[in-house]
Amino acid sequence: MPSKTQSRLRIVLEPDIAIGPGKADILEGVRDTGSIAAAGRRMGMSYKRAWLLVETMNACFKEPLVAASRGGKSHGGAVLTPVGEEVLRRYRRMEALSAKAIAAELRGLKRLLSDMSN
């Protein structure tokens, strides 16, 4: 198997408030599944935890990233707002740009790893 070496990008908005791979995956999950609960399940995460992450994200942007509704025909659900779509798109783009920018250096670093690590 190829090496698992990868980079992870975390954007720190405030001390203790950041957006990283986890929150981005939640946004993506909400977009794909239409519900916070299903997004959480897909990641093996409790609904409560997923909801907590959504609440945090909604709080630190000007407008909510996720709009949730209860009851109704669909038994409730959640969708990304335009801002939510934009944040997700920007984050994924930053991930890609970062990975591309450091690819060469990363290969150099990988050469120094112990044999067990690749």
Partner DNA sequence: CACCGATATGTTTCTCGTGACATAACGGTA
Partner DNA sequence: TACCGTTATGTCACGAGAAACATATCGGTG
Q: What does the binding site for a copy of itself look like in residue numbers (CB under 8 A)?
A: 4-15, 17-18, 59-63, 83, 86-87, 90-91, 93-94, 97-98, 100-102, 105-106, 108-109, 112-117
Instruction: Supply the minimum distance, in Å, between the C-beta of residue 100 and DNA.
Output: 30
- What is the radius of gyration, based on Cα positions, of the chain? 17
The interface mask with DNA, positions 67-86, x = CB under 7 A, is -xxxxxx-xxxx--------
Q: In the set 46, 98, 117, 118, which binds DNA (CB under 7 A)?
A: 46
Q: Is 35 in the site for DNA (CB under 7 A)?
A: yes
CA angle 6, 11, 13 (to 5 degrees): 165
Judged by beta carbon distances under 5 to 8 A according to partner kind, the member of DNA, a copy of itself, none in contact with residue 32 is: none
Using the minimum distance from each CB to a copy of itself, give the nearer residue, 24 or 50: 24
Find the farthest-apart pair of alpha carbons in the chain and give their distance in angstroms, rounded: 57
Question: Are 78 and 29 in contact, with CB atoms under 8 Å apart?
Answer: no
- For 67-103, the DSSP string reads EEE-STTTT-EEEE-HHHHHHHHHHHHHHHHHHHHHH
